[in-house]
Homo-oligomer: A and B are copies of this chain.
Amino acid sequence: MTLVVESADEAVAGVSDGATVLVGGFGTAGQPMELIDALRRLGAKDLTVVSNNAGNGSQGLAALLAAGQVRRIVCSFPRQKDSYVFDELYRSKRIELEVVPQGNLAERLRAAGAGIGAFYCPTGVGTPLAEGKETRTIDGREYVLEFPIHGDVALIKAHQADTLGNLVYRKTARNFGPVMATAAKLTVAQVTSVSSPGSIDPEAVVTPGIFVDRVVACPSPAVLAEEGAAG
């Protein structure tokens, strides 16, 4: 059942120390700034964050990192032009980093949401990121065995919701939101507005409400990250 809550603070209430938090977004597009800020205010610490990037500038995810609440980050592309907060933490060994190819990050999250125990993936075969991982040759091609990434909480940003938690996204801000929504025990979505059931075309729903536990309206302007190489 989806709860529509009144504030971002209410939306992240109960996230505990040591939680694995899936954070949507590709750069700043789809990054749930208000929910991350609320998580920072909540003060939960020793967090593992799973997100494509490791923060941009000094806002949102970068601010959560700067507050020292994140012990470990799992992402595909931490290094960006404006990832100075992460860079400093990493170089001073105050944060652990696991780098995962972007498609594997997405597929491992999907596997978690879809009840798949593990899968054989061709990405990364023969590279340092597959070192130590089990491999298998299937029909003449080599694959690496990859395991699901489950979250305790997912914080995502969508465009609009109805009160049943059905979500639609906006353009490329969709990115990791729909898969993260399926992969966590508690999924929290910030949206620009919440409307009544029937206001979203059933054919166009991207995330059905079953995946969404809490929704909060946070009308917030999107912001641009600085360009970063290679995603």
Residues of chain A touching chain B, judged by Cβ–Cβ distance below 8 Å, are: 107, 111, 114-122, 136, 138-139, 141, 143, 147, 168-171, 201-204, 206
Contact = CB atoms under 8 A, between A and B. Distances in A.
A204 to B, nearest CB: 4
Contacts of A107: 114, 116
B204 A203 contact: yes
A178 to B, nearest CB: 12
Contact of A118 (B120, B201, B202, B203): B120
Indicate the member of A114, A119, A136 with the most B CB atoms within 10 Å. A119
Contacts of A201: 204
29 contacts: A107-B114, A107-B116, A111-B119, A115-B121, A115-B122, A116-B119, A116-B120, A116-B121, A117-B119, A117-B120, A117-B122, A117-B138, A117-B139, A117-B141, A117-B143, A118-B119, A118-B120, A118-B136, A118-B138, A118-B143, A119-B120, A138-B147, A168-B203, A169-B203, A171-B202, A171-B203, A201-B204, A203-B206, A204-B204
